[in-house]
Chain A
């Protein structure tokens, strides 16, 4: 904001501190956020260094995890993390976009308001509560009514065989519930940012609600919804506690989606306090480093996409 010369003169005579110093102070305080991010990455890199130099790139492709013989590889963890997150996205995406489309509509304030609040409460529930619920309610239920019948029926198909109450699939279901609020909230904002004129033109040409949504609104919100999807993917990749409680903690590439597996974050959560020596904790931190680098890049890509999609509406 540009102040006139007289205002500047006035301020100079009345204020004990020149205004620029306040600005510098705030700028330095605000710098704690980027600084924290930088320090996190640097500290993790430094802590993981023994493992990084010992295993090199082979760490990413190795599939052993043996604290006794000090053989460590991240591949089963990476696989479990990516597989649960992608399955969660596949489950959550159609639901999330449907809710976002409904919430972005004009009118029916009562219903939309209630649904909006409910979705926000879904985001507020702590992940450990989702964990205990999935462990004692969701996991046993899906095992009995979904996993067992399906795996009995299709036992010849490898990736659908051998059901287990704690599995890749259960973890994906919980993750799907947990990323739904992110997916919905961001997609809703992106859909709202689609220029009104586009929608009005489509309606004026005689399009139905479905044709307007499917052929006009969603295509023009595509980049932003893609951003929202990546943002939700980032959340799913980093989610720890709920997944740790239901994934079954089996450090192998699982046979089927109903088998126990492991994720990067869960290995750290379960083993870090018991890790002794130099190489073992360093290998665990390197898992964290892999995780944070993947989520950081996903987040940056997603934020750039979402911002350019919502900024367009402001113009």
Chain B
């Protein structure tokens, strides 16, 4: 492969824990099979009635990470720590500079409503308002998961938590790209995590106010982004080059048109013609986003949103959509557009150059066993 060492940064590995299961193969196979994972929620376990959602199968923090240091770890933190472990297991020969040179960018909607609301509830119902569990404190802050990933995997580089609705993953990629471009990190783990919880289901149901929305989903998706030269130097195979991420806001007006404008602007600024794009994938199920991509790209617009199969994963949804593209087999270069339109009219688009991934290559990149990924 002729990769320009001075070219844009590259994604060299990814992992995901999703309702399809554990690891990138489980995700890719599940998405390819195309069966929805939305199911009735265990009412006893989750204390909800008549809920349908897509949950990560058999996810239990302590059974995956052990008893030490996990007593007060909430689900979203566990999802992020385990996914990061699986991603890092794909990076052999980590040298001494690895810890300080490796950053983490992790997306969220608002951390864990279960932890935060549980803490407030304890303050309100306790004998005294300060009769709360001190061990619960760290999990009540939005950057808990990112901080814990750093502790578990000893990542001492830039560590950021980003929130931008369903666009989060794409905005996070841009933030990660800037960290690399300015030399603040040599590699960045860039992901997002969202948990299913009783509190999240309750808040979501309340927000919908009688008009049921999509079923909730959960999980964590994470990619490894590094400068092309860094990937070449360590002999890593690039899966895709991140050419551009652009964002916009639709203020009033026509959202479909705003998505078309945003995509056109992204292509224009990158010097890419519409006809060169081989696949375009929208993150949400909204008609505005789907129709805009169909208008622009015709049959090259992939109308299957991960959203439809694994539920609304909120801040992770754009990265899961990216994962559908990264996981697809391809024997030649291609250009991919990923879009995300949020409910408030904010739009982000990413343009990636996909590098060939054969079945053999996919096997090579197979994730090692989970045990290798955590301490």
> Are A and B subunits of one complex?
no
A residues apposed to B, CB below 8 Å: none
